[in-house]
Structure 1
Amino acid sequence: MAQDGQSTELTASGDHDEVETLSPGTAVVSSDAVRDPGLPPHRLRVTDTDPKKAKRAERVVYTLFYLSLAGSLFAVAAYMAFPIIPEDLLSVRLNNMFIGVGITLALLGIGIGAVHWGKALMHDHEAIDLRHPVRGTDETRARAVEIIQEANEESGFGRRSLIRNTLIGALVAFPLPAVVLFRGLAPEGEDPVELLENTAWEAGTRLARDPDGTPIRASDVTIGSVFHVIPEGLAEMEHMLEEKAKAIVLLMRLKPEDLNEEESKKDWSYNGIVAYSKVCTHVGCPVALYEQQTHHLLCPCHQSQFDVANHAAVIFGPAARPLPQLPIAVDDEGYLVAQSDFKEPVGPSFWERH
């Protein structure tokens, strides 16, 4: 034990301990720092040393991509060859089974082929990629271009044409089953474009609250209020859910002087009450958020905004056209009714394209 004012020195035995003499009364025993062992020696794969093995691996990869391409086309063919017949459970099973087999082959072919390509043929040396929080210098950016070119050489993407071409073919064919399956959303024997151009609204159909179906009087709609609306009697219609998806409407009341109406559409509203399709013209999400002070409608999916005071014109976001307006009037009992169906197709813009 050392007295105050004197330095203290501790001695330790062993190869890895050392003594540090610091300020009086303080001593620290430390060990040698652990050395970085570095990377183990790189082990070459069989495909790196044997060209025949590399060629075989290449054949496996593009064969798997061919299998994926065949699976996508098989799924499309199965959709046509094994249609679903109403009340025939066997047709449902066959349709699902064969389409599922095709899509499974398409997925597995791309997935396993890409993994085998990476493990057997692509460059596999360890590397350190230094990242910087700021924009690199021109030299660094030029080097990045070189690295991309080196990656192309190391992966063989540009050199192994069969792998590249079969991968591109598999990726192009892969979405086809989904595209073909969308056709099944329309009832058998009916034109899907025509179905989407017409809704359940007709002249004289009362506007009713969603979901209970209670008819709405004009006097019920106060300035600044919003009603979610469906056609009266919708619950008794065939394909009720499909009809509702097309016919849903938002009903709002503004001060009549706040409406900037076109001359040809002035009789589409009633005393400041206007009705617009609730289906966004971008991809069909429900437009359900109303900002009372600005008279803006907001689609929560992709933030398209529509100006209710100006025929629901698009003022922000990806929507391509205004929300279709439902012409309305009031019947002898004071209930709000539709003058007709919408004058243009509802929903995403692509529905109206023949």
Structure 2
Amino acid sequence: MGNHSDGSPTSSDAVAKAGHEEVDKFQDPGLPPHRLRLADTDPKAAKRSERQVAILFGISIVGTLLFLFAYFGIRLDQTIATLRLQNTFLGLGVAFAMLGIGTGIVHWARALMPDHEVSEERHELRSEEDRVAAVKIVDDIIEETGIKRRPLIRNTLIGAMALAPLPAIAIFRDLGPLPGDSLHHTLWKEGERLARDPDGTPIKATDVTIGSAFHVIPESLNSLTTGKLNEKAKSVVLLMRLNPEDLHPSKGREDWSYNGIVAYSKICTHVGCPVALYEQQTHHLLCPCHQSTFDLTEECKVIFGPAVRPLPQLPITVDSEGYLVAQSDFHEPVGPSFWERS
């Protein structure tokens, strides 16, 4: 055997000690000494931990009930204060529901479930024996959790888990029914003046300069007494002016603009976010939610992002007083794609 002065091992499971020629094998240190918890030695401490876990599960139940109260009990009255109040209670309810059940399970595991360290050898798989062993492992886990002999924890956990999905069900319910033909029609109609959002001041063609962008609503919107927000959500439009030679209208759309002024739905065709960013140099419209980008010179076709349809264009012209007016409603449904869309 040679003298390896560089400290290299002479066998597969050996290492040379620094400054020594002798080689020692690694020894299995074994498992560290097990430290008993207070709940392992004191029945009162175990009972106290059990009550704490039950309280945490109870907090989860209260959080779920708080969410349901805020969702169904607080009626929105079109004021910001009420909306903020409802959102606050919705957030607190979900937080307590999730944190209560999560911290309860963690505390249960740390304080009451067995925590002995186990080292197992890897054995060759045997199908039938493995199935029997797996069943025994599951039975052992259930027995070690103590869920059979701790009905307080079991019952509060069942209650918390039964109620926890209800906020998600309520949120999905709020998505509402499919829109049907509700997005096929807006307030825009022949002769409807384009007005500034939100004051409703009509816009003349001479007000729109090259590079400018206006957020536009139908002039009649502010006169509505009911359903104003819903109608505005469908009817909002972006109005911009380009050099007419930069536009490339398709056949049949040659007269949908006026001297380079074009109007497009502000509702992104991805998931309905407001398209609000206009890049004057590139003539791109950008949705800030998921970065869908639309080319204004090519009838707002999608050039980047998850949207798959161009923004619907509103045909416009001017009236006898020089105000911009709609020629008609949109020729296609506004908003994101949906199953009932033709």
> TM-score, normalising length from structure 2?
0.58
Aligned CA distance change for structure 1 residues 193 and 40 (closer, same or farther; 3 Å): farther
Alignment gaps of 5+ in structure 1: 1-38, 87-91, 126-152
Aligned CA distance change for structure 1 residues 85 and 292 (closer, same or farther; 3 Å): closer
Given candidates 310, 325, 349, the residue that maps to 2:337 is 349
1:46 matched to which residue of 2? Answer: 39
Q: Distance in 2 between matches of 1:172 and 1:75?
A: 11
Contact map agreement 2:63 2:96 (CA 8 A) in 1: no
Given candidates 95, 109, 112, the residue that maps to 2:100 is 112
Letter in 2 for 1:324: P
SS in 2 for 1:349: coil
2:28 matched to which residue of 1? Answer: none
Contact map agreement 2:194 2:324 (CA 8 A) in 1: yes
How far has the Cα of 1:182 moved from its partner? Answer: 4.8
SS in 2 for 1:213: coil
**RMSD of aligned Cα (Å):** 4.9
2:274 matched to which residue of 1? Answer: 286
1:210 equivalenced with 2:197 (yes/no): yes
Aligned CA distance change for structure 1 residues 168 and 295 (closer, same or farther; 3 Å): farther
Of all paired residues, the percent bearing the same amino acid is 48
How far has the Cα of 1:247 moved from its partner? Answer: 1.4
Q: Distance in 1 between matches of 2:336 and 2:41?
A: 53
SS in 1 for 2:310: coil
How far has the Cα of 1:297 moved from its partner? Answer: 0.9
Contact map agreement 2:248 2:298 (CA 8 A) in 1: yes
Q: Distance in 1 between matches of 2:200 and 2:91?
A: 42
SS in 1 for 2:215: strand
Contact map agreement 2:57 2:104 (CA 8 A) in 1: no
Aligned CA distance change for structure 1 residues 46 and 353 (closer, same or farther; 3 Å): farther
Contact map agreement 1:103 1:177 (CA 8 A) in 2: no
Contact map agreement 2:214 2:240 (CA 8 A) in 1: yes
Q: Distance in 1 between matches of 2:309 and 2:34?
A: 62
How far has the Cα of 1:206 moved from its partner? Answer: 1.0
Q: Distance in 1 between matches of 2:242 and 2:221?
A: 27
Aligned CA distance change for structure 1 residues 223 and 105 (closer, same or farther; 3 Å): closer
Letter in 1 for 2:106: G
Contact map agreement 1:329 1:338 (CA 8 A) in 2: yes
Contact map agreement 1:68 1:107 (CA 8 A) in 2: no
How far has the Cα of 1:258 moved from its partner? Answer: 1.5
Q: Distance in 2 between matches of 1:345 and 1:298?
A: 20
1:296 matched to which residue of 2? Answer: 284
1:267 matched to which residue of 2? Answer: 255
Q: Distance in 2 between matches of 1:261 and 1:298?
A: 20
> TM-score, normalising length from structure 1?
0.57
SS in 2 for 1:315: strand
Contact map agreement 2:269 2:311 (CA 8 A) in 1: yes
1:17 matched to which residue of 2? Answer: none
Contact map agreement 2:64 2:164 (CA 8 A) in 1: no
Q: Distance in 2 between matches of 1:198 and 1:215?
A: 22
Q: Distance in 2 between matches of 1:331 and 1:258?
A: 24
1:248 equivalenced with 2:241 (yes/no): no
Deviates more, 1:217-226 or 1:162-171: 162-171
Contact map agreement 1:328 1:336 (CA 8 A) in 2: yes
SS in 1 for 2:255: helix
Alignment gaps of 5+ in structure 2: 1-31, 116-137, 148-153
Contact map agreement 1:196 1:346 (CA 8 A) in 2: yes
How far has the Cα of 1:205 moved from its partner? Answer: 0.3
SS in 2 for 1:280: coil
2:127 matched to which residue of 1? Answer: none
1:26 matched to which residue of 2? Answer: none
Aligned CA distance change for structure 1 residues 104 and 309 (closer, same or farther; 3 Å): closer
Q: Distance in 2 between matches of 1:289 and 1:220?
A: 20
Letter in 2 for 1:218: A
SS in 2 for 1:121: helix
Q: Distance in 2 between matches of 1:108 and 1:42?
A: 33
Q: Distance in 1 between matches of 2:340 and 2:214?
A: 27
Q: How many residues align?
A: 263
